[in-house]
Structure formats: structure tokens, C-alpha cells
Amino acid sequence: MEKRRYSDALEVDGLFFEISFDGAAESGKNPEHTNVALRCFNKHGQDIWIRMFGDIPMPEGAWHGFKLICAHKGRVFVAVSNFLIEINTESGASISEIETGNTTICAILMIGDSQQVIVFNDYYKFRHPKDLSNIAAYNFDGGECWRAKLGDGDVFANAPSFGKDGKLFASTWNCFKCEIDKTNGKILSREFTK
């Protein structure tokens, strides 16, 4: 199996944060050794700290794109396997860790100034005890604020994104483009796209 090193990075207050891992170069399972690492470095590329997470599951199909790190007012969040982790920017230690589902996280994004992080868990084999979907919002204290309510056994197949007007959209496995209410996770509209 051909491997590639995938990474996602951002800058916060003059520091750079990068999460990286080894993944498959084509469709199929990731390699046994993913070597997940989170690194903080300055503008000259000098490491301030490195945190190793080891060989844990990470998103498959990473060549399709992913968003595993985001920040808001100096707070940095990373997605590691199926955990959303808030990181202490000075030391790299975890401030909080939230298990978001039974599958790896493929994307996280901030909801403006709401102090909420949206999490998109991989749809393949995703299960929720109340048959809710694989997109949820968490507050900075680690509480689940809402989980999108699809029903009908459908799941979101693509990561959510914000439209030009700030509305939140995601597409489902059953070919519906859905607008999701950012405040409560309700589906505001469903448009069949095939």
C-alpha cells in the first residue's frame, strides 16, 4: 500500500499548529502505523513542542480533503481519531477531550463567535443510539449543544460548509443538500440533487 503524509495547519497569535498523519494514497484502509503528531512551531520553523498520539485511527480517504484543526480567540481545537481536543497552546497538553462518535472525525469548524465547534464524523459505519446524525456542535466546555436530526437512516456524506450568506449546508448519502440551523441542528430545507 502506498502511503502519504497528510497535514492540516493554522496560525494563531504568531504560532503555527500542524496535525499530521500517515494515510493511504488510494481508496481503502489507512496503514497500521499512522504516526499521528501535533506540532507547534514559530515563524522560523523552530519547534516549540510536539505531541505524539501514536498509531490511532484517522480519517480514511484523506485525499478528498479534511479539516482537523481550528481556532477561536486563542483557543485551538484538533480532531484526533474520534476525539475533539482543546489544546493548551503553551504546552500542547489537553484542556478537554470529547468523544464525538464511533467513527473518526473528518472535519471541524467554528460557528462564528458562538463559541461552538461543529464536528463531522465519518459516515461509514456511523451509529448513534438515538438514530441522530454524524454532524454535531459542541460548546467550549465540552457539552454537546445539538446533533443534526436527519432521520430515515440517512447520514451526511460530506463535511458541512458555510455558504456565502453564512448558512450551514451539508449533503447526505441519499442525495439531499440540507440547510442546517446553526443554533439547534434542525434541518431547515432538503433539496434532492440527483
Looking at per-residue pLDDT, the higher value among 44 and 29 belongs to: 44
In the predicted model, is pLDDT for residue 185 greater than 80? yes
DSSP states of the chain = --EEEEEEEEEETTEEEEEEEEEESSSSPPPS---EEEEEE-TT--EEEEEEEES----S-GGG--B-EEEETTEEEEEETTEEEEE-TTT--EEEEEE--SS-EEEEEE-TTSSEEEEEE--TT---TT---SEEEEETTS-EEEE----TT--B-S--EE-TTS-EEEEBTTSEEEEE-TTT--EEEEEE--
In the predicted model, is pLDDT for residue 28 greater than 80? no
Q: How far apart are CA 104 and CA 90, in angstroms?
A: 26
The stretch 73-80 carries a mean pLDDT of 90
In the predicted model, is pLDDT for residue 26 greater than 70? no
pLDDT at 129: 62
Express as a percent the part of the chain with pLDDT over 70: 94
pLDDT at 112: 83
pLDDT at 148: 92
Task: Give me the chain's average pLDDT, please.
Answer: 89
In the predicted model, is pLDDT for residue 93 greater than 80? yes
Looking at per-residue pLDDT, the higher value among 24 and 144 belongs to: 144
The stretch 120-133 carries a mean pLDDT of 78
Q: What domains, with CATH codes, occur in the chain?
A: 3-151 (2.40.128.630)
In the predicted model, is pLDDT for residue 71 greater than 70? yes
* pLDDT tens figures, 31-57: 888 999 999 999 999 999 999 999 988
* pLDDT tens figures, 141-164: 889 999 998 877 788 888 999 999
Q: How far apart are CA 5 and CA 69, in angstroms?
A: 16
* pLDDT tens figures, 107-121: 999 998 788 999 999
